């Protein structure tokens, strides 16, 4: 199996390119699951991006990105860990609330971090509730297979819209030996189809499929009555999500399905160089704070410089 961050992309430009969801309509208060179901029915693929802070969220909402994922990739891109296992629960809840404050009209999807739902179902439901209440999340995302069906059903029964993340599951990277593609044998592909079926039967509000061959994705999309978001799963999906820092050119390596659109790493370097020059030369712009004349006289008198 190939590491997905180096896999040869199977995605080709869609010959029958469909109309893309055009962004936030000012008459729509917020993007909801119903908005995405409509986009699915109208065959208008929608964009989703990871987001970890309020400022970026504000700009992504202004740009008309309907779905923001507060991913456990925050462990990598924000906290600097080598994998997604190190995303503290409280930290992700805090980031989720920040993103929702920055983009109140976007559908905010919160990633449930490693060990916040695997140990037992009661903790899982309670932690999902924390994302909804403290984080103001609109949905929670869990990396699952069919064995999580009962947990997903419990969350759904409690009123938590669950995005079932199937296919490649980065929280299992240590178990399988890296970030690998999934469903590359007929056996493995059939297992992922069974995972999708189990999640749909358990009431998942959406599926997220990561790093699967196009044929496997297409079959999942064909069976699904809810939106399927892909991450390196090909263009058949109703929505597509990638890590924003990859598109910005801030990461050192990007997967082939999320090639940089900008060179922000380079631009950050240029910004730092310019600031260093300004500091060195004292060219700091007009100074905005002044003492009124009489205050200056009084101040100088008191420090003995009158």
Phi, psi of 261 (to 5 degrees): -100, -25
Q: Does 71 bind ligand KIV (CB under 6 A)?
A: yes
Contact map string, positions 150 to 189, toward ligand KIV, x by CB under 6 A: ----------------------------------------
Applying CB under 6 A, among 4, 24, 67, 72 the residue interacting with ligand KIV is 72
For ligand KIV, the binding residues in 12-51 under the rule CB under 6 A are 50
Q: Does 65 bind ligand KIV (CB under 6 A)?
A: no
Residue 205: exposure state from Cβ atoms within 10 A (0-12, 13-18, ≥19): buried
Residue closer to ligand KIV by CB (options 204, 231) is 231
Nearest to 109 by CA among 6, 211, 204, 250: 204
- Return the H-helix or E-strand segment holding 242: strand 239-242
Applying CB under 6 A, among 210, 224, 227, 248 the residue interacting with ligand KIV is 210
Cα 184 to Cα 1: distance, rounded to the nearest angstrom: 7
Cα 230 to Cα 216: distance, rounded to the nearest angstrom: 12
Coil, strand or helix: which one is 153?
A: helix
- Closest contact distance (angstroms) between CB of 77 and ligand KIV is 8
Residue closer to ligand KIV by CB (options 39, 70) is 70
Question: Mind telling me the catalytic residues?
Answer: 210
DSSP, res 110? E
- Closest contact distance (angstroms) between CB of 155 and ligand KIV is 17
Cα 272 to Cα 277: distance, rounded to the nearest angstrom: 9
Contact map string, positions 238 to 267, toward ligand KIV, x by CB under 6 A: ---x-x------------------------
Residue closer to ligand KIV by CB (options 73, 127) is 73
Q: Kindly give the pairing relationship between strand 46-50 and strand 67-70.
A: parallel
- Closest contact distance (angstroms) between CB of 49 and ligand KIV is 9
Residue closer to ligand KIV by CB (options 25, 239) is 239
Residue closer to ligand KIV by CB (options 19, 103) is 103
- Closest contact distance (angstroms) between CB of 179 and ligand KIV is 11
Q: Does 231 bind ligand KIV (CB under 6 A)?
A: yes
CB under 8 Å, gap of 24 or more: what pairs does 19-28 form? Answer: 19/43, 19/44, 20/44, 20/45, 20/46, 20/47, 21/45, 21/46, 21/47, 21/64, 21/66, 22/64, 23/63, 23/64, 23/65, 23/66, 24/61, 24/64, 24/66, 24/105, 24/106, 28/105
Q: Does 111 bind ligand KIV (CB under 6 A)?
A: yes
Residues in touch with ligand KIV (CB under 6 A): 50, 69, 71-73, 84, 111, 208, 210, 231, 241, 243
């Amino acid at each position: 199996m190939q590491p997905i961050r180096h896999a040869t992309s199977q995605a080709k430009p869609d010959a029958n390119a469909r109309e893309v969801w055009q962004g936030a309509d000012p008459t729509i208060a917020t993007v909801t699951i119903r908005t995405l179901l409509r986009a699915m029915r109208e065959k208008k693929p929608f964009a989703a991006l990871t987001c970890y802070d309020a400022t970026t969220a504000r700009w992504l909402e202004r740009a008309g990105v309907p779905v923001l994922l507060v991913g456990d990739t925050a462990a990598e891109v924000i906290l600097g860990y080598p994998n997604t296992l190190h995303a503290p629960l409280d930290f992700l809840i805090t980031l989720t609330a920040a993103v929702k404050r920055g983009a109140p009209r976007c559908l905010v999807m919160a990633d449930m971090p490693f060990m916040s739902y695997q140990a037992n179902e009661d903790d899982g439901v309670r932690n999902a509730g924390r994302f909804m209440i403290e984080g103001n999340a609109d949905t929670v995302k869990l990396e699952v297979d069919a064995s999580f069906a009962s947990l997903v059903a419990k969350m759904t029964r409690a009123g938590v819209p669950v995005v079932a993340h199937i296919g490649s599951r980065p929280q299992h990277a240590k178990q399988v030996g890296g970030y690998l593609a999934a469903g590359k044998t007929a056996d493995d592909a059939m297992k992922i189809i069974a995972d999708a079926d189990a999640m749909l039967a358990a009431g998942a509000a959406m599926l997220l499929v990561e790093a699967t061959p196009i044929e496997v994705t297409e079959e999942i999309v064909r069976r699904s009555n809810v939106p399927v978001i892909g991450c390196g799963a090909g263009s058949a999906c109703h929505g597509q999500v990638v890590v924003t820092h990859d598109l910005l050119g801030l990461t050192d390596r990007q997967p082939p399905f999320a090639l940089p659109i900008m060179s922000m790493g380079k631009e950050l370097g240029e910004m730092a160089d310019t600031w260093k020059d300004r500091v060195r030369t004292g060219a700091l712009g007009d100074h905005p704070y002044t003492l009124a004349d009489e205050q200056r006289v009084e101040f100088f008198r008191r420090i003995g410089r009158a």
